[in-house]
Amino acid sequence: MTRGLFVAGTDTGVGKTVVTAGLTGWLRDAGVEAHAVKPAQTGYPPDDDAAFVADACGDADAATCLERLEPPLAPRVAAEREDVDLSYDAVREGCERVLSDPAVDAGIVEGIGGLRVPLAGEREVIDLVADLGLPTVVVARSGLGTLNHTALTVEALERRGVDVAAIFLNEYEGASVAERTNPAEIERMTGVRVETVPPLDLSDPSGAIDGLRDAAGEWSPVDAIED
């Protein structure tokens, strides 16, 4: 299987797609043929995370979505309501096909909501993370309440043998004491490197690439996929 990263979130709406777009475009700019995979997209339309990543990279072939479902619900629940046969094995195998494609140097798999979101059958998003075995980037909110959610997410991943490569606190402004102290406290609690991403101008989706690269300091996805 090829190298890559999984982008997991502490919750829905925390910025996984922005980070996925940033990582995919950053790698492609570095000469790594990166391809993003969204295993299942709910709330479609209007939500289309793979399309956002493709737009950010300026290449329709930069991202793949395996299954699109209209209800804005957990994939298993949305599939039941739509009477769609959503198979966990098919989702996992679809991800593996992209990751093992000889034309792909690195796959970036974007999760759906948080780790305990029901994916298909009796399986959850965390099962897919563990089965794919990719180093994982955790995306979390920056403000009050994120300590608990982020630490529990990292703990759950590590219990399943997943290497957590970095934590990104999204839309970081440092506007409160909680925000300003959260990065160091999360590093203390988890032992994982924390980077902060400020609010980005995404009127042009490619802003996710420069924005993430500028925010990441010395951390690099090139190093993360090679460790």
Successive 10-residue mean pLDDT values, the chain, 227 residues: 90 98 98 98 98 98 98 98 98 97 97 98 98 98 98 98 98 98 98 98 98 97 90
Task: Check residue 226 and give its pLDDT.
Answer: 82
The pLDDT value given to residue 227: 72
Strand 63-65, strand 34-38: pairing:
parallel
DSSP string, 121-136: TTEEHHHHHHHHT--E
Residue 167 β-bridge partners: 138, 194
CA dist 216 → 26, 68, 163 (Å)? 11, 31, 18
HSE-up (13 A, CA, CB side) for residue 226: 7
Binding annotation for substrate: 42
Residue type, 182: N
The single residue listed with the structure tokens 């990719």 is 134
In DSSP terms, which residues pair with 137 in a beta bridge? 7, 166
Binding residues for ATP: 13-18, 49, 110-113, 170-171
- Name the catalytic one among 3, 28, 35, 38: 38
Exposed e or buried b per residue across 163-182, where buried means at least 16 C-beta atoms within 10 angstroms of its C-beta: ebbbbbbbbbeeeeeebeeb
Q: Which is the CATH superfamily of the domain at 3-226?
A: P-loop containing nucleotide triphosphate hydrolases (3.40.50.300)
Binding-site members are 13-18, 42, 49, 110-113, 170-171
38 catalytic per annotation = yes
pTM: 0.97
